[in-house]
Structure 1
Amino acid sequence: MFHSNHYLRSILPVLIVGIAGSSAFAGDVSMRLSSREAYVGSPIQLLISINNASDYEQPTLPQIDGIEIRSAGAPSQSSQVTIINGRRSENRSVVLRYLITPRRAGTFEIPPLTFKVDGKEVKTEGIKMVATKSETGDLLFVEIEGKKEKVFVGQPLDLALRIYIKPYRDQEREITLSEGDMWNMISDQTSWGSFQNRIEEMTKKRQRPGGKEVLHDNGEGEERAYYMYEINAKVYPTKAGKISGDDLQIVVNYPTALGRSRDPFDSFFDDSPFGGSFMSSSFSNRLSVTSSRPVVAEATVDTTEVLPVPTEGRPSDYRGAVGQYNIVTQASPVNVHAGDSITLNIGIVGTGPMELVQAPPLSELPKLKKFKVSNQPLAGYVKDDSKVFSTTIRPRKAGITEIPAIPFSFFNPETEKFETVHSAPIAITVEKAESLALDTIVGAKSTNSKGQSKTESMHTLEPRLINFESSSVLTSQEPHSAWNWWWLAVILPPVVWVITLTAKYRHWFAQRMPSLRSPQNRCIAQISNAEDQSTIANALLRYMQKLFPVKDSTVTTENLSESSPTIGAMRSAGLYELAADAELLIEQLSHDHVGYGTNVDFELQKSTALDLVNRLTARMKSQSNRHIRPPRSTVKKSKHAKVSQSFALLLGLGLASMTSTVMANDTSATAPVPSPQVVLNQAQREIIFNEASESYRDGLALAETNMVDAKDLFLQAAKKYQLLVNSGISNADLYFNLGNSYLQSDQLGRAIANYERALKLQPDNRQFQANLNAAQAIVQIETTPQELTSLDKGLLLKLKNGNSVLINMVGQQAIMVVIVLSSLTFWGLVILRTMGHKLSLWKCATLPGLLLVVSLVSMHFHAENTTQQGNAVIVEQRLQLHEGDGEQFAEVVVLDSAEGHRVQTLAHRGSWTQIQTTRGHIGWVPDHVLELL
């Protein structure tokens, strides 16, 4: 028992500390008010304490009628550390502060607040409070006076706010506060209502209303001295009835005592909207207000009456404007094609509240039925006493000569009648749509599988805007491979001719170009033709040094005996027997050379040297097969070996460069297939395709009578065709359909891009080329690629232009065929002549040779033109190039009429692409202004 009690007494303090610690660290929330009683217009604090929480959310402030709640600043944090019996505990707390200002007398309840603390929802308890009105007595009076007896809703009304404050007098010190001091007593809890903008304007200018001393009724029929402050403002009543001052509440912290200030840097009143003090300065011991109480006055309002705008005689286009107004309009451009957009700017000038003025209902005006007008409300911007609206309208058909006068109706409070003003008509010229002015848009001409008319001339193929409707459009295609092989016909025949020439004259080359022989053959030839021992020794040592190169080792007739480095290299390679035989032979040759008198058979020495060369060659081949190499220190390429390898490398690089250049300029750039953005099954694709085809046909049917609706249908078709492309279909006919739809809906850049893609899948399709040419012809002339990029003059420019016309007429396929046939014919004749056949190259090979040169130059010009144009098409009319990848960077240049032109992409970053225009301008543009090819 003793042990048990002793154990309990020992563990009890630990349990108490643990319980205390756990209690201290259990997160809890409490809410309290700095006071349960408050004066109207005087704020009290709402405090929310959160203890021992690592994370919390701020509560949502409730909406309470008669109470204004706002934050009092950033939360305050504190922590407390307690150590009991050597055990440490820590308590952390956060206090959220809010200001509660009652706007009327009564009893209010702050409801329970629910928010999350450490991921769990907590709930506070509700608190009641009482707000009482501090007796104003004769200390404060507020009046609002209108300048008119009656106004209409929306009519400007000049109001005057007059505040009367009784001067405070300290009887003990016989001091009366000045009008400036009393103005500074106005609390920042004041609600200025309709005069808020005027007060803020004065505050920014560090101004305040000037007060003057006047006599005013004190409420008991007696006149007393007051400071009167007058503030004027213009308001626009929004509802009928008497002028109300419900949103106005003036709160004055009226002084009750003065005293000496202890803080020499105290400002007189911190809560004044204008600041300042009446006696404070940088010196201490000055008088200041030591106590005050809030007083709130009810504003008295005169009998100005607000009348509603009458309904009798109200025009159908009236949109609430009250006052006197004028309207002007401006349109750009005024020379357009049917369906093109015209920017219409509408300016309204008047005396009413311009921010409340609405644009005329353009879509409801009968005079504008000839135009396509948006039925969405227009947002304008106010400048001084005017408001400007901007929208776009589109003429439905050709032949429209003017934009009619636009009416604007308003209620004139002076005459108490509705009035309507009109803008002046704007003369315009509307021609037939450019993209639909092609002769082949209507009429059912039969076409073949490649879109070519059976009755059209091969040289005058016209563009067609009839789309393909076969189900084969939904089948993806591989790029056309007709151009992948033609360059072989240019490269291989001359290579065969060089081989033939070399084989026929190999002996001649061998005799006149000994450096082309192998080191072994050269050595054997030199030994066989030697006439003395020094020649044999020189040839043998040079060959050995080829096999076993040693740095700074050369052989001359004066140092034949200095062969030890090379012999040593042979021994290092494991050729001990051959090294000994070589050393002995060279020593004999060296001794005989210097005249030691040794009588050795010269022919025997030749035979021995040749045998040594053959043995060395055979042994080195044997070691090479067994992957046995000389030591690294002795491995060094000879000068001729380096030259040979460098020549082979350059030859390979040249062929690779030629191949890649030709293929890049012609066929390897396959038609780009956008990465699938949507997933569609076959049934869905067929439905979308049929809907697109139907929209396009309907657009063609409306083109002559209602160009605006026709273009809307074309745009619908383009969106559906684009959806099929985005699903992963790469088909030339689908790109052609998409190009036609974009062309008909005035998206020239996207039309050109899709015609280009169709041609990359079927480069020999002349119908695709004809449509591309027609689209490019619409591009603005002043910024055509030829004018922008051409540095060529005279004959060269004419040749390039003529070549473009030739390729457009006959197609690149025909040029390829000419290149292949002329190359095979020309080089075939040259090879036959080289092999010894009797034929006249001048008579037989001149024509194919000229054809080969001309066709190659033609393809060179075409490839150069394609490369210069770039790999992307601009799809916006106005292009802004920036110095960096963002709108915040400065503009490099602004290009007008840029749509449809090609540019070269240089880099990509985020959603921006760096491009180079055909004029050489380099800058960054957003991705959405480009179509990559």
Structure 2
Amino acid sequence: MRSSLIGMNCGPRRRRRGSTYLFVIAALLLAAWVAVARGQEARLQVLGDPRDIFVDQPVLVQVLVEFSQRCETPTLPDLPDCSVRFAGVGPDSTFRMDINGQVTESRQRSYRFELIPRRLGRFEIPPIDVQADGRVIQTQSASFEARRDDAGELVRAKIVGPDKPIFAGQQVELSLEIQVRCPALERRDQRGQSRIRLDAAETWRYLNAAALAPFTTYRSQGAISLPEDSGVLSQWYVYRLVERVVASQPGPLRFDGLTVRMRYPLEYGIDSFGLLTNTVITRVRDVAVEPEYGNLTVLPLPEQGRPADFSGAVGTFTVRSAITPGDARVGDPLELMVDIRGDGPLDSLPPPRLELHPDITASFRIPDTPPAGETIRSARGDEPLVRRYRFTLRPLRPLSELPPIRYSYFDPQRAAYAVAIAPAAPLRVTTADRVSDADVVGLAGRNTEAAQPTEQSEPGLRPMTSVAAALRAARTDVSRTEALVAVAAPPAVVGVICLAGWIVRRRRRSPRLRERRALRAAQRRIRAAARRSPRECAEAVHAALVAYLAERRGEPPGRYVGREGAALLTACGAPAEITVRWTETVEAAEAASFGGMVQPSAEALVQRAERVLAEVAGVRMA
């Protein structure tokens, strides 16, 4: 009986001992992991796939600093036959561990550099010294090998134009032809090596169509076989995009910024169910190629044979005119409508030069300002059909018809100037009714009695009269100076008020004034934060620094929270040291607002914020 009771009491104790052992083992494993991690405090890494490093292509190198609270920006030494540039601060993370109430915090920072190798072969990056937490940490060395860029063996592009010469101002149809080697994706696993091919539609999805502007109209696709250097035929997919463009300037025809970009697939995998029908691309290569233009050249318009009324139209055009109303008198306004059709750029087509046509200027008064035309499009709205101009003319003499309207243009098909003529249109213009001097004198004599002033009038009102002598003898009670003041004073007062308001608004929108206001506001908030509790002080300092950037840029208050502030400083050309100190100060204030701190730390945080604020205030922000 006693032995059974002892056995019953030992069971719970053994279970409690097992839980304690598990807890101790987990703590030892965690401490061992921290010790190992602390041994790798700084690393030099070459990012990306080492198989995708090519000559004259950027390579990203990263210096990763782990388990440190403060770190200075490292410097990468110059490498022979390789350009080195600091690319900015990369992503970072914070590690916080609480053991028996003692909080240990460490951070992981990354600094990135852009390297561009200028030759083939291997490049060695020596170890780098990093200043972290008051001591020097040395990274390991790194290396990479630059290969010849074989992007042309994967993707090719060329611009195809017409066989005839192209002239400046001509609208031509060009096509962008993209050739992509049929992707043969490989997969290696325990079952061996397998390969699949993507069809033309699937391959098109890996091309960046947004970067192909101005070519936006997808016309066709197909497949061709091209010989390799070894004599073996390989399959290529061909994509053709067509666009109508205007050759604006003489010289070689080029499109600035046109680059064919593609994420060329290289390897694939399968899903968790092992179905080959659900393939997943596991490795791609970013390829960018410039299109070949061949001998596409834009010729200037010839000077020989250019008409005097030529306004720059290039193409083949027809003209039609109409004038309304068809029956008018001399001096009445008439509306002349000119419609121009053709294969040229109708949206930018200049109006006809009526002021250079003697038969038009001899019969009509033409407005000095040329009219703004309108383009009439098709029912779908994508194809221009007619360019229409409306002129307001006033006839100077009787007419029986509207003279022909001439429109000069350059025909690129015949490489010569031509004239489109709208035939004469029916128009009836008659003289205006005239009143003779005798009729005017007789009318005045007959109305003399009627024009005599009446003696009956209301008090304060002068009697009306139409006699010329009485009107000349009459005087006004308003002097010329008073009339001038009454006319000129209201506009002058309104102008002064508008000018003052404009000056006030401009001063409020002034970038320098906005920067000074933002700096003074941030300084007031930081000084006020020093009188609060440590947690509230950290929160106020963080809000003041974040609000300073937003108010200085005229953005909403929460625009530059987190990494956005460092990104703004980097974009504005701020030194890397200032960017790092700003980021560390903001993150320290944010962390203290959640975790709390003691009063001496709060005072140090305020002083640190004031120093970094003064440094950032000296950075120019466009």
Normalised by the length of structure 1, the TM-score is 0.31
Greater strand proportion: 2
Normalised by the length of structure 2, the TM-score is 0.46
Greater helix proportion: 1
